[in-house]
Structure 1
């Protein structure tokens, strides 16, 4: 056949006519143009079997020396994995299978060349260390395992929007450069904002509360930034948060919404990603029943029976939660007010709590955490909507009223009763797919040790 020219890095007038999933009975004997990168190659001397991968999967390309010009065949023979090529050729059935197809090239264009072999395979989970993978994250994301993870992540995001839109929520966007801490504390990333200091937002909390005045029901899916010096497999410095806020409800209503949202997500993934789940060897959690709810005080009482060192007001060890609940979704409710941010509404005193000096630690809050085993996925609460109560709570937490004047002034105009939650997208993905490391639930992880790529 005539050598039509190979121009490296030039697409020219070539355009894809079919994705891999469209190579089927309906196009047998048709000439198609397929484009992608080489995921694997088998060399049998005068015959090459090339797996060409696009965003939907692989197409087998059968390349015979006698049917191509010498320099085209030799160029293909020398190409390494990850090189990009375009193929114009005829679709035929594979001889050894009635259900598979391959493309016999009539013309080939090499679009980019991989100059060195990748340090890990795309076909399977490699035993190579995660830091080596993250240094070449764009290549790492081509691996089958992560392709499946991020296809499921895409379904999760779509299903979240579907559920909230169907329940009359408005998607919003809030500032990520802020003047003061959203939730107090020191876990902030300072930045220069023209001639003054600012911070990256820990959450959209105060803005989404204000937006309930205008839209009643709002949600945002966006990054949050936490400068926590943690080196665990479940912490990120930059994470995606699903933040939901609703007017004229309390925290019990928001638990219902969150429970239903998680079950909607699980059902959507089961419906749309069975191929990916099978490839991962993963079965999603059973969510046929509403999630159980246990108060913080009851949990402490139960744990104290076998762990005498536990005191009311303490955090609960992840190991103890794992031993107690296993792998299931559940809510821990009515946390001590002392453990919650200033905007969380308080409720009655807890009779079993031990008094202490200073602020009475027995005060409870209208709050909840959604857990999966030992992993915290979400926190939510009824918010304070009375300006005086909010200012009193800020004072107890050692926060300056002046720093939050932009927020407090809104309460002079009647902020409605409201409640909400924030859900960690990466943690949810990590939990339901049983990922070992949260860094494999985000595209380019940021943590205490990593700022590149």
Structure 2
């Protein structure tokens, strides 16, 4: 029976069978050292007289587990038999054990199909999987229903800009930039819904924080009193997500040396107007109407210095800066908010307009044609409740939690302005 590397400590002095990849090898005369990697870790194997294949070959090893203070993890396996299950046919384009310090970042991404095998390369994906698991688990307990919405759509959730067009038989269609309109419709069915799915944004950005395809964690709930309830929900949700990451991917978090944040409890809430005042008067930053990346970074530092937190809600955004479906206020603001984490926006959300005539008026005020939204608008003729929600960018959250230098390392196969492979 196969034994995993993480369980070897329970088999000291016993014979075991290991299956895994040849991570690294070294010949010292009659003695050969190799590192075997499986999905749970790496162990040193000692053998001799073998004709070892190239690194990344898949192997089966049978041997005895012994304690060895100099070996990784304090254990090694003294091999009695070694079988090559599938040999590597050529050297890897990047030496996997040395990937993080020898390879150029573009090389790591270009050969992602093999560089992902490295422990530090795969660790963010394991953390992200745990975050998503916590996301689903918390919302399931709160009576939410997971939904699955179309990704080929007639129009965008935020208008015609930023959309990837596709040929759909004799019609023109688009890749969905958000499930926003569909999750609002589904509030009329289940009251509380969520979705975990990719979205696409046709943006020209080529920065360390932007992707053109990313994983969106969407939430929408009905029968709310205000956007405050949505922010309260997100605080509790994020806490569970962080706890699940620590429990389910703690080894990966430690491997990456991540500075884990304080739990998001009682997150400060600044209005957009107050945030702009602080930037201008207290921080001396010449801010415009919208908050730039630098403004967000400064606000993140301000929240850390003043309240000792990595989290900050910016609320009451001006109507001009929010999508047409955001609930307006009489003073020209909205019930829309963003959540900043360490100075980076990871969430956009708020309360939505739930009355038909107000939605029509808002669409026209934004210069958008209601005809393109008929399937969406129809549901608002049938008593839609006050509702709202938010979306979390999974890669951005993972990047900031782990201190990754680039958001692309938080996605297995990133898609950006210049990358369509692998």
TM-score (normalizing by structure 1): 0.86
* Worse-matched range after superposition: 442-451 or 255-264: 255-264
* Worse-matched range after superposition: 441-450 or 296-305: 296-305
How far apart, in 1, do the equivalents of 2:82 and 2:23 lie?
Answer: 20
Aligned residue number for residue 240 of structure 1: 215
Aligned residue number for residue 450 of structure 1: 419
- Count of matched residue positions in the alignment of Structure 1 and Structure 2: 411
Q: Do 1:123 and 1:144's aligned partners in 2 also have CA atoms closer than 8 Å?
A: no
Q: Residue 264 of structure 1 aligns to a residue in which SS?
A: helix
Q: Does 1:141 align with 2:116?
A: yes
Q: Does 1:17 align with 2:2?
A: yes
Q: Do 1:387 and 1:411's aligned partners in 2 also have CA atoms closer than 8 Å?
A: yes
Q: Residue 59 of structure 1 aligns to a residue in which SS?
A: strand
Aligned residue number for residue 36 of structure 2: 52
Aligned 1:333-348 pairs, distance under 5 A:
333-348=315-330
Q: Which runs of 5+ in 1 are unaligned?
A: 1-15, 66-72, 350-362
Aligned residue number for residue 79 of structure 2: 104
Q: Residue 391 of structure 1 aligns to a residue in which SS?
A: helix
Deviations 1:156-185 (A, max 9, x none): 111111111111111110000001121114
How far apart, in 2, do the equivalents of 1:320 and 1:190 lie?
Answer: 33
Aligned residue number for residue 8 of structure 1: none
Shift in alpha-carbon separation, 1:446–1:29, aligned structure 2, 3 A: same
**Structure 1 or 2: larger helix share?**
2
Shift in alpha-carbon separation, 1:99–1:231, aligned structure 2, 3 A: closer
Cα deviation for residue 106 of structure 1 reads 2.4
* Worse-matched range after superposition: 119-128 or 277-286: 119-128
RMSD over aligned Cα atoms: 1.9
How far apart, in 2, do the equivalents of 1:124 and 1:383 lie?
Answer: 46
Structure 1's consecutive aligned runs of 4 or more residues displaced over 6 angstroms after TM superposition are none
Q: Do 2:317 and 2:336's aligned partners in 1 also have CA atoms closer than 8 Å?
A: yes
Cα deviation for residue 404 of structure 1 reads 0.6
How far apart, in 2, do the equivalents of 1:240 and 1:223 lie?
Answer: 4
* Worse-matched range after superposition: 127-136 or 172-181: 127-136
Q: Residue 259 of structure 2 aligns to a residue in which SS?
A: coil
Aligned 1:107-118 pairs, distance under 5 A:
107-118=82-93
Aligned 1:180-329 pairs, distance under 5 A:
180-249=155-224, 250-287=226-263, 289-305=265-281, 307=284, 309-311=286-288, 314-326=289-301, 328-329=310-311
Shift in alpha-carbon separation, 1:347–1:105, aligned structure 2, 3 A: same
* Worse-matched range after superposition: 317-326 or 385-394: 317-326
Cα deviation for residue 48 of structure 1 reads 1.1
Q: Residue 184 of structure 1 aligns to a residue in which SS?
A: coil
Cα deviation for residue 84 of structure 1 reads 1.3
Cα deviation for residue 17 of structure 1 reads 1.7
How far apart, in 1, do the equivalents of 2:40 and 2:138 lie?
Answer: 26
Aligned residue number for residue 307 of structure 2: none
Q: Which runs of 5+ in 2 are unaligned?
A: 305-309
Shift in alpha-carbon separation, 1:309–1:101, aligned structure 2, 3 A: closer
Q: Does 1:165 align with 2:140?
A: yes
TM-score (normalizing by structure 2): 0.92
* Worse-matched range after superposition: 396-405 or 146-155: 146-155
Counterpart selection for 1:422 from 391, 397, 401: 391
Cα deviation for residue 276 of structure 1 reads 2.0
